[in-house]
Amino acid sequence: MKWTELRDQSCPVARALSVVGDRWTLLILRDCYFGIRRFDHFQERLGITRHVLSDRLKSLEASGILRREPYQQRPLRHEYRLTEAGKAFYPAFVAIVDWTEAHVPPKDGTSVRLLSKTSGEPIRPEVVDANTGEPITLTSVRGITPSMPEWDAKRG
C-alpha cells in the first residue's frame, strides 16, 4: 500500500493516517491547539525543516484541517488557522494525550495537565457512548465492516 492510496481506503483508520499519520502532523496540530499560527513560529518550536513544514501545512490545508488566511497586505502574509474539522479533532487528541500520560511514561517528571475552564479542576478524559454514558472498551464494542464481518472474533 502506498502512502497516497490511504485516503481512498474505506477503513477510517487508513483515512485518518492519510491526514495525521506522519511524523510531524500531530505535532503541528498540537501547536495549533497552543495557538500557534505562523510559519516561523511552527518552525522554531518544532525544529522541523522548512521544506517539510511547508509540505505539511499544504496538506493540512488540502485536508480541510487548517485554512490559510491573510493577516496583512504589503507584504502579503498568511497564517494558518484551525477549521471546524481541525477543532473537532481536539477530543481525539485529548484521548491520545491521556493514554500517553498513563502508558508511555516520560523520562523526567514533567507532564501536561488539562484543567477545566469552568471548574479549574484537572479533567479526567474518558471516551463514552453518548447514548448510554457507558465507557467504551475493547470488549464492549463490536465492529461491522465490509472487509471483516467477524471483527468481534477473539481479540487481545
Which listed option, DNA, its own copies, none, makes contact with residue 44 (CB within 5 to 8 Å by class)?
none
Q: Binder to DNA among 7, 13, 34, 50 (CB under 7 A)? A: 50
SS3 call for 69: strand
Assess 11 for contact with DNA (CB under 7 A): no
Assess 7 for contact with DNA (CB under 7 A): no
Q: How far apart are CA 152 and CA 149, in angstroms?
A: 8
Distance from the Cα of residue 98 to its chain's centroid? 13
Task: Return the residues of window 92-151 that contact DNA according to CB under 7 A.
Answer: none
Assess 77 for contact with DNA (CB under 7 A): yes
Q: State residue 69 phi and psi, 5-degree precision.
A: -130, 135
* Nearest-approach distance from CB 147 to DNA, in angstroms: 19
Task: Return the residues of window 25-44 that contact DNA according to CB under 7 A.
Answer: 38-41
Q: State residue 3 phi and psi, 5-degree precision.
A: -55, -40
Look up residue 115 and give its three cell numbers: 484543567
Phi-psi region of 38 (alpha: psi -120 to 50; beta: other; left: phi over 0): beta
Which listed option, its own copies, DNA, none, makes contact with residue 149 (CB within 5 to 8 Å by class)?
none
Which listed option, DNA, its own copies, none, makes contact with residue 156 (CB within 5 to 8 Å by class)?
its own copies
From the list 74, 69, 2, the residue with the least C-alpha distance to 38 is: 69
**Nearer to its own copies (CB atom), residue 30 or residue 39:** 30
What residues line the site for DNA (CB under 7 A)?
Answer: 1-4, 22-24, 38-41, 47-52, 54-55, 57, 68, 71, 74-79
